[in-house]
Amino acid sequence: MTRAPRFDRSTAGDRPGAVGRRGVLRAGMLLPLAGAAAACSGSTEPEAPDPLIALAAQARSDVAAANGVAAAHPDLADAARLVAGVRQQHATALQQEVDRLHPPSTSATPPPAATSTAPPAAAQVGTSAARTALATALATAEQQASNLVPTLPRYRAGLVGSVAAGCAALREVLS
């Protein structure tokens, strides 16, 4: 895709006289390519956000919530720490995949951790409610991930499928 602009200039009419009917035809054929290149550079229209950004944010949010539960509920600490550890790995892998396609240097600062409110909330509820809240968050994450799987590119389908499966497995530990 990065090759397009080189052809774009020379065929689209910068060299007058060289543009006969055939030249116009060629320019017309190359236009979609030039448009695609512009979209890639992000300079014209905003791209649809990478769907993995939301999955990574949910994973970070689950890490914060699980750490809060681990601190507030000794009975749940082992399971909550396991949730935090696994979801941290999910957040890292998903963010790496986001950054691979959209290097962070060209975009703005990474989104902040979504939930600074989760740990205090966890301290105020009972153990059973905290367990339910964590399980619900994991069910949401699993659903988010598995809903994306059918339409993602192949490599991402594997990664996101494993994230969904990991969330379901974590829920089993909490049950």
Q: What is the binding site for other proteins (CB under 8 A)?
A: 82, 85-86, 89-90, 93, 142, 146, 149-151, 154-155, 157-159, 161-166, 168-173
Choice between 10 and 89, CB closer to other proteins: 89
Nearer to other proteins, 8 or 171 (CB): 171
Sequence-separated (6 or more) residues with CB below 8 Å from residue 130: 69, 72, 73, 76, 122
CB of 96 vs other proteins, minimal distance in Å: 13
Residue 145 CB, shortest distance to other proteins, in Å, is 8
Is 73 or 87 the residue whose CB approaches other proteins more closely? 87
- Whose Cβ is closer to other proteins: residue 8's or residue 142's? 142
Shortest distance, position 146 Cβ to other proteins, whole Å: 5
How near is the Cβ of 136 to other proteins at its closest, in Å?
Answer: 17
